[in-house]
Amino acid sequence: MRITPEEVTALLLSVKVALFSLVVMFPLGLLVGWILAKRDFPGKSVINTIVMLPLVLPPVVSGYLLLILLSRNGPIGGILYDLFKIEIVFSQFAVVIAVSIISFPLLVRGIMTGIASVPSELEDTARTLGATPIRVFFTVTLPLAKQGIIAGVILGFAKSLGEFGATLMVAGNIPGKTQTLALSIFSAVQLGQDITVYRLVFISTILAFIAIWITEKFQSTSISKILN
């Protein structure tokens, strides 16, 4: 079994995009997860619904909405083009955006479950011991929410690796540029390259297996718990 350079490129692109998305979205995920887990405010359920929406929407629909927003004629894409002459659609950056939006709910859910499991009495206790809210977050909330956060990160990362529908809509399927692992499987199937399909399917399955296995094996906050 030999992997072709094109397949390596696709695999590396998937990993690169997933990592990049994770680095960018993690701080935001922490903030949103913390707000949803610990704060009460009017309209919280609306925020929660919006964040979770991509989990339920067909990825193609999310991708289509992104396409409308980001294209040169769209509200966001238009501004970016006018100001910086940047075109996001059908670029690697579009892959990152698509993947980030789709995996964000899983990341947030993990973080939220982790943070919500930290008893607020412990956080209040830390405050009475003189800790500022920031110090409480980093020395009490975060370490105690670790399990859920790690689960959310692994799950979100795995989801990013395999994202298909939204990426196809907003970034296209350009070999060497925006063709990720999942997209190259799709292309291979269409071209009837069975051997290639088997190889790529095998790689994808192994990656997903490892991700879930790690969380289930080392975590008490398992994936099944997050999805409940």
Partner 1 sequence: MKDIGSISLDFSISLGNFKLEVDCQLHQKVTAFLGASGSGKTTLLNCICGTFAPDQGVITFGDEVLYSYDMKINVPSNLRRFGYVFQEGHLFPHLTVEQNIRYGQSRKLRREKDSISQEIEILEIAELQNRYPSQLSGGQRQRVAIARALAMKPRLLLMDEPLASLDGGLKSRIIPYIHHIKNAYEIPIIYVTHAISEAMALADEAYLLSDGKIAASGEPHQILTSPSVLPIANLTGVENIFNLPVTSSDQQKGITELEIGSQSLVVPYMDVEIGERIPIAIRAEDIIISLEPNLPISARNILRGKVDEVDDQVLLSILVEEQRFSVKITHEAREQLQLCKGKEVYCVIKANAVNLLWNEG
Q: Which residues of the chain form contacts with partner 1 (CB under 8 A)?
A: 119, 121-122, 124-133, 139-140, 143-144
Q: Which string of b and e fits 145-184 if b means at least 16 CB within 10 Å?
A: bebbbbbbbbbbbbbbbbbbbbbbbbbbbeeeebbbbbbb
Question: Whose Cβ is closer to partner 1: residue 73's or residue 128's?
Answer: 128
Shortest CB 111 distance to partner 1, Å: 17
Question: Whose Cβ is closer to partner 1: residue 4's or residue 139's?
Answer: 139
**Is the Cβ–Cβ distance between 161 and 183 less than 8 Å?**
no
Instruction: Rounding to the nearest 10 degrees, give the CA dihedral for residues 83, 84, 89, 91.
Output: -170
Q: Quote the Cα angle for 184-190-193, to 5°.
A: 75
Say which residue the tokens 């110090």 belong to: 135
Shortest CB 30 distance to partner 1, Å: 18
d(CA 117, CA 227): 15
Shortest CB 115 distance to partner 1, Å: 14
Shortest CB 148 distance to partner 1, Å: 14
Question: Whose Cβ is closer to partner 1: residue 139's or residue 190's?
Answer: 139
Question: Whose Cβ is closer to partner 1: residue 140's or residue 185's?
Answer: 140
Which has the closest alpha carbon to 175: 16, 20, 21, 13?
A: 13
Phi-psi region of 23 (alpha: psi -120 to 50; beta: other; left: phi over 0): alpha
Shortest CB 32 distance to partner 1, Å: 24
Question: Whose Cβ is closer to partner 1: residue 58's or residue 143's?
Answer: 143
Question: Whose Cβ is closer to partner 1: residue 54's or residue 114's?
Answer: 114
- In one-letter notation, the amino acid at residue 150 is I
Shortest CB 119 distance to partner 1, Å: 8
